[in-house]
Chain A
């Protein structure tokens, strides 16, 4: 009955490889996000999708490509991995602010710890 689930939990890969991280939420939320938390513990937003539509795209290298096949899923594909991509990637979801008139914050997945060697 996990609310926001990410796979894999750990990912160790070599520089130059392409990898994907998957995220699914069963909360019925309309908006999903990808955040990156680096070694300094700073959580920075990368992307957000609302009902499968991209609404936030921060300054992220175009090697990172999000895909949302439906509103319950948001995947992240990373091409040509670099050492600097090593971080913990968190998926999150929230209810649509426009629907509820109030923002209740996010529910986070447990994170994917990516190590590029």
Chain B
């Protein structure tokens, strides 16, 4: 079983729509959780950390469910510029393990 699994998508949504997707992780000792965004042929960039209480950053909301070992990302009012691959990342000790990414395409 992979350490971190994501629905690869693609999620193809119109501008203004809400899109949400999950990521599951296998290591119950994982300590920190993140969402990264990766644009085509570029490096991953940190989108947001994910906290147990859930957290919001503008149009982005992240949730963590430790009991079920999943994290989620919700994007409200999608913009064309949100089109990217979203990578879930889970940290245990010094190591970040990444999911294979969920591709989101926002169309006009």
Instruction: Name A's B-contacting residues (CB within 8 A).
Output: 31, 33, 40-45, 48, 50, 55-56, 88, 90, 94, 97, 102-111, 113
Q: Which of A50, A102, A108 gathers most chain B CB within 10 Å?
A: A108
A50-B95 Cα distance, complex, nearest whole Å: 11
A43-B31 Cα distance, complex, nearest whole Å: 19
B96 lies within 8 A of A42 (CB) = no
Instruction: Supply 20 A–B pairs (Cβ within 8 Å), ascending by A.
Output: A31-B94, A41-B101, A42-B98, A43-B87, A45-B95, A45-B97, A48-B94, A50-B94, A90-B43, A94-B96, A103-B31, A103-B91, A104-B49, A105-B46, A105-B91, A106-B46, A107-B46, A108-B44, A109-B43, A110-B42
Q: Which of B32, B89, B93, B98 gathers most chain A CB within 10 Å?
A: B98
Chain B residues with CB under 8 Å of A55's CB are 94
A80-B93 Cα distance, complex, nearest whole Å: 32
Chain A residues with CB under 8 Å of B96's CB are 33, 45, 94, 105-106
8 closest Cβ pairs, A-B complex: A108-B43, A43-B98, A103-B32, A42-B100, A105-B34, A105-B46, A110-B43, A103-B91
Chain B interface mostly = strand
CB proximity of A86 to chain B, nearest CB, Å:
14
A41 and B85 contact, Cβ closer than 8 Å, known pairs A31-B94, A56-B94, A103-B31: yes
Select from chain A the residue with minimum beta-carbon distance to B38. A41
Chain B residues with CB under 8 Å of A105's CB are 32, 34, 36, 46, 49, 89, 91, 96
B32 lies within 8 A of A43 (CB) = no
Chain A residues with CB under 8 Å of B42's CB are 110-111
A45-B108 Cα distance, complex, nearest whole Å: 36
A105-B45 Cα distance, complex, nearest whole Å: 10
Select from chain A the residue with minimum beta-carbon distance to B44. A108
A97 lies within 8 A of B94 (CB) = yes
A97-B58 Cα distance, complex, nearest whole Å: 28
A75-B79 Cα distance, complex, nearest whole Å: 38
Chain A residues with CB under 8 Å of B100's CB are 40-42
